[in-house]
Structure 1
Amino acid sequence: MDAILQFFIDWGYLGMFISAFAAGSILPFSSEAVLVACIGLGLDPVLSTIAATAGNVGGEMTCFWMGHLGKREWIEKYLKVEKDKLEKAERFIHGRGAWMAFFSFIPIIGTAVVVVLGLMRSNTWIVLLAMTLGKALRYIIIVWGVLEASSLIK
């Protein structure tokens, strides 16, 4: 894992984007670790946040389209989502709508929410907007925390 992390860090903003894309998809990866490392190495916090947000939204929109284009059977088979969990997520999201994509930054369930929003054929533009706001806010908070912590050390 250290070699993969180092690879993304060495690639700078592009590495930040790719790692965030991977983390936003169905791959288990921590883009936050790459973001913190990149900021610690002196990359611009604003550009790092933009790269992380864009990559993570891109990866998560891939999951949305997998749900949108797919069938329940495919989601269960290839993404290894149990049928009862998929139905439970759909019942939960049904009354709340596309704005639930705001919470796509939550580990594990965030991706499930987005896949279900795709299956439900939710409004793509609202999903994209809500998802971008949630993910950007998360990364802004992380970057702010890193910058505050580093100012205490100096």
Structure 2
Amino acid sequence: MEFTEFINSLGYLGLFISALLAATVLPFSSEAVMLGLLQQQWNPLLLVLIAGSGNTLGSVINYALGYWANDGFLQRQSAQHQRRLARAERFFDRYGSWSMLFAWVPVIGDPLTLLAGLLRLRFVVFLVLVALGKFGRYAVLAYTFS
């Protein structure tokens, strides 16, 4: 049995696991699992809620990794790198929090959520914007394919 088939056989739990893994640095796609369950006539609203929750939790894990890596990372940086990071933080504070709406985008989403933790974006802001983007993506998938 292929891994995706195994995850699909777990139903809602499999979707949650795949969505969580897809939001971390592991290369995994939860869309295939969700589309498979939609094709089997599973409840689209529950699928959106479960996939959005798992994917958001995966992003929270990335945020935490960035957040906790911050102290040691900063201490190992030269003064020049610390100034660059401070400049990046000012830019992120000015524009960056809205970028969390795009945390669902493949390739760039995972680094964005790590950066949010590293730059210590307020967690509530992070969580709301990431959740909006992630739940929105799954809602579009469910609407389009059910």
On whether the aligned pair clears a TM of 0.5, the verdict is yes
Partner of 1:150: none
Alpha-carbon offset, residue 96 of structure 1? 1.1
Change (3 A) 1:51 1:34: same
2-structure distance, mates of 1:72, 1:64: 14
1:87-98 equivalences in 2 (<5 Å): 93-98=92-97
63 and 53 in structure 1: CA distance in 2 versus 1, 3 angstrom threshold: same
1:8 maps onto 2:7 in alignment: yes
Partner of 2:31: 32
Deviation string, structure 1 residues 38-91 (Cα, Å, up to 9, x no partner): 1111211110111100000001110011000014876xxxxxxxxxxx999767
Structure 2 partner of 1:78: none
Note the 1:130-141 alignment, pairs <5 A: 130-141=129-140
Task: Measure the CA separation in 2 of the matches of 1:88 and 1:56.
Answer: 30
CA distance in 2, matches of 1:44, 1:11: 15
Match of 1:115 in 2: 114
Q: What is the TM-score with the length of structure 2 in the denominator?
A: 0.84
State the identity as a percent.
Answer: 33
Which amino acid is 2:16 matched to?
Answer: F
Secondary structure of 2:47 counterpart: helix
Deviations 1:4-58 (Å, cap 9, x if unpaired)? 1111110010100000000011111110110000111121111011110000000
Query: CA separation in 2, counterparts of 1:4 and 1:39?
Result: 18
Equivalent pairs, count: 135
Is the CA contact 1:99–1:126 (under 8 Å) kept in the aligned structure 2?
no
Equivalent residue letter for 2:144? G
Q: Secondary structure at the match of 1:60?
A: helix
Distance 1:68 1:51 in 2: 25
SS in 2 for 1:93: helix
Higher relative contact order, structure no. (Cα contacts within 8 Å, ≥ 6 residues apart): 2
Q: Return the offset for 1:97.
A: 3.6
